[in-house]
Amino acid sequence: PGYNQSKILCTVEVAVALKSIQLKASKYGYQLVVYDGYRPKRSVDYFLQWSLNEEDSLMKPIFYPHISKSQIFEQGFLAERSSHTRGSTVDVTLIKTGLKPTSPVFQKCVLEDGLTYPLYFDNTLDMGTSFDLFDVVSHHRAENISPQQRSNRELLKALMQDGGFEAYPEEWWHYTLGGEPFPETYFSFDI
């Protein structure tokens, strides 16, 4: 609920910062891919209700295979008061210049710890996990990713931080603009 169009909204300040980051990323041969931005409050409320329904486990193998649904909020992967709702948080990754994201193809990957993780390959840079995988392997400091995956995450983080964003430790894709214009406002308009 709340997502009525395939659009990403954000504050003007975020758009300006992302444009600057895009210019810097292009010098390294990459482009930004933005998966999500502003999230309506009613969407966040829906996630909360969804998390309480243990019987609805359809997406468990893809998005939270190693934790219970009740742990998604406890471990900080979703929040009752999401920073996305303030309009200055984005979920991003990188893709090589000239490529475009493709429709995701589900794969399983085995990381350094031997555990199997779901991966939606969409032509973007290999960060070790898909965006929105609720697992410790999604943390910036995850131990069980390859050196190349760590390097890819560090490049994204350096670009975003140089552009004024703060990294969220539990999710390699999640960044909030420092000095955001609406730090105490949780918007509720639909997209």
**Which residues participate in catalysis according to the annotation?**
171
**Secondary structure of 16-63 as H, E, C letters:** HHHHHHHHHHHHCCEEEEEEECCCCHHHHHHHHHHHHCCCCCCCHHHH
Per-residue b or e along 86-110, where b marks 16 or more CB atoms closer than 10 Å to that residue's CB: bbbbbbbbbbeeeeeeeeeeeeeee
Dihedral angle sign, alpha carbons of residues 50, 107, 139, 94: negative
CB count in 10 Å sphere of residue 82: 19
